[in-house]
Homo-oligomer: A and B are copies of this chain.
């Protein structure tokens, strides 16, 4: 399986506003006419648009790492429906998702948001409002996939999220997928304590329900690979009662 979409998602310090590159928006919508009009509206707002007619195609796009900055999903899709699509994307990515649909029932709104969507807009929508909501969401998420992430250095550790490579003292070391995601999450917030819940949500997916201790075990295995002396870690530190953090500096 390809690497997690978010490996490229957390960029370094952002220069907001000045978007040198147009944000790329994936539109998942089966009705060709609607799709065309949405494309026009979005391109008018200055976005780059990619389209798929089905949820399956959308997921395939994620598989081959054609990562959008934001996803618009129609609820009524042939095959896998919008809710399913949303959940499936959430399993591999934290990309901002807006559900666009004709169904105005509150129950659907709630279901959509619970499925992992960030916003829910009902048709017929006004282009300007959709544009504003997209801007608001991008502003909040600051998602800049595809943009090469700078390498993160912590002590003698050196990791390249984009390439999926970790080195210690110049020597490349092998981490499993989960270990790598875990390390990336910690490294994205150096010095900051992350709770088990936060790590579970970000590494395993927001809808994961299971043992908290799972985190401990992976932390331990990560330590055996990353720490010179796993018993006295000086990178991956435990903060009792709170969680874990990566030693800053």
Query: Which residues in A have some Cβ–Cβ distance to B below 8 Å?
Result: 5-7, 9-13, 16-17, 20, 94, 96, 106, 109-110, 113-114, 117-120, 126, 128-129, 131-133, 135-137, 139-146, 149, 160, 162-165, 176-177, 180, 185, 188-189, 191-193, 195-198, 201-202, 206, 209, 211-212, 239-243, 245
Contact = CB atoms under 8 A, between A and B. Distances in A.
Q: Which of A16, A145, A201, A211 has its CB near the most chain B CB atoms (within 10 A)?
A: A145
A113 B136 CA distance: 6
Nearest to A202: B143
A177 B242 contact: yes
Contact of A191 (B117, B165, B209): B165
A10 B110 contact: no
Contacts of A12: 146
Contacts of A189: 145-146, 163
A221 B23 CA distance: 33
A142 to B, nearest CB: 6
Given A6-B195, A16-B212, A120-B133, 10 more contacts: A6-B242, A9-B196, A106-B126, A113-B132, A113-B133, A114-B132, A140-B140, A143-B202, A160-B192, A163-B193
A119 B106 contact: no
Contacts of A198: 6, 142
A121 B128 CA distance: 16
Given A165-B191, A197-B9, A132 B109 contact: yes
Given A118-B140, A165-B191, A193-B164, A129 B109 contact: yes
Given A114-B132, A176-B240, A149 B6 contact: no
The 10 closest A-B pairs by CB, nearest first: A164-B193, A177-B241, A6-B195, A145-B188, A113-B132, A163-B192, A110-B132, A113-B136, A106-B126, A106-B129
Contacts of A120: 133
A200 to B, nearest CB: 10
A197 B6 contact: yes
